[in-house]
Structure 1
């Protein structure tokens, strides 16, 4: 079994709900980036000891939140020593719109993983793109690089689309299984 950490920032709680479902699928530990963009020393140790890191952030104004970016910048100390070289990575993002430039946020996460010399895990699911498809279907937003989720701006945290949450669990499981195979 692999040790997986889901590190995420959530501004309004929607991304936290997605992170919880990713963690459920991966049997992972959650690490929340706080409102100031920080995590604890214990959290840094957990990330360093993990076999896989799944990163999550809301998409704000076409990219990850500034709190996640602050965390990403702080990983430069690990980057300098190549501490996460060959670690397995995955990523997800949530926004209110079906698109909302989420792809840019995912590429930001993928680039961070690549800068660390990590191994990126794609979503690995075909899109639900037929006329009969609904937001309750897995991968209804048609992602491939990583997990895309949507929670309308006026939705409570209990209203993240069910298909997205199911996809989150499947993605967490995929990352964990790949990390276990490579361990």
Structure 2
């Protein structure tokens, strides 16, 4: 059995997405995976360490209907580093998470960009794998995937609350679930390839 190496590459403007990244890491570590967090922006330079991982989980706040400018700069920088070097991320597992002040906040547009970005690198996208919750009279704000996103772990943080309060416990548990799912799927993929 190979132990998966999971990278979490994220940008956090106010600390909310960093808190979400920590929850994703916690979930991945429960499986025994080796997890490294990378705070990324236009000046990111640790390409070799990131490329040595078996899976990369991308995280960014959703600002104005898409990834933060800092995360987008990181994405753009991969064209001259990772992509130009010859598909270094091909067949790695990919997933994503995002946070915004609004419940929807156009997070689907951010997930779409992350999925396309991953596809350009030849990666294999893993969605959240949970049904939408809190969408009936029996649902609650404490449900996993309370915001109802399929593509990745979504969180909502009120604009006037800091990371000491937000995202909600349910959104952080959803992020933990994503980390566990990605680590499990990566182990399955690696061991299947080895067999």
Q: Same fold (TM over 0.5)?
A: yes
Q: 1:151 aligns with which of 137, 150, 157?
A: 157
What whole-Å deviation, never above 9, does each CA across 1:140-172 have from its counterpart, x for those lacking one? 000101111111101120221111000000100
Gaps of 5+ in 2: 30-34, 191-195
Query: What secondary structure does 1:158 align onto?
Result: coil
Equivalent in the alignment of 2:123: 118
What whole-Å deviation, never above 9, does each CA across 1:18-65 have from its counterpart, x for those lacking one? 00000111122110025xx3223xx32221100000000000000000
The reply on whether 1:78 has 2:82 as its aligned counterpart is: yes
The reply on whether 1:64 has 2:70 as its aligned counterpart is: no
Equivalent in the alignment of 2:171: 164
The reply on whether 1:90 has 2:95 as its aligned counterpart is: yes
Within 5 A, what are the aligned runs for 1:6-85? 6-27=8-29, 28-34=35-41, 37-40=42-45, 43-76=46-79, 77-80=81-84, 81-85=86-90
Q: 1:101 aligns with which of 106, 109, 116?
A: 106
RMSD value over aligned CA atoms? Answer: 1.0
Query: What secondary structure does 1:12 align onto?
Result: coil
- TM normalised by structure 2 equals 0.89
Aligned mates of 1:66, 1:169 — CA distance in 2: 25
Gaps of 5+ in 1: none
Number of aligned residue pairs: 179
- TM normalised by structure 1 equals 0.94
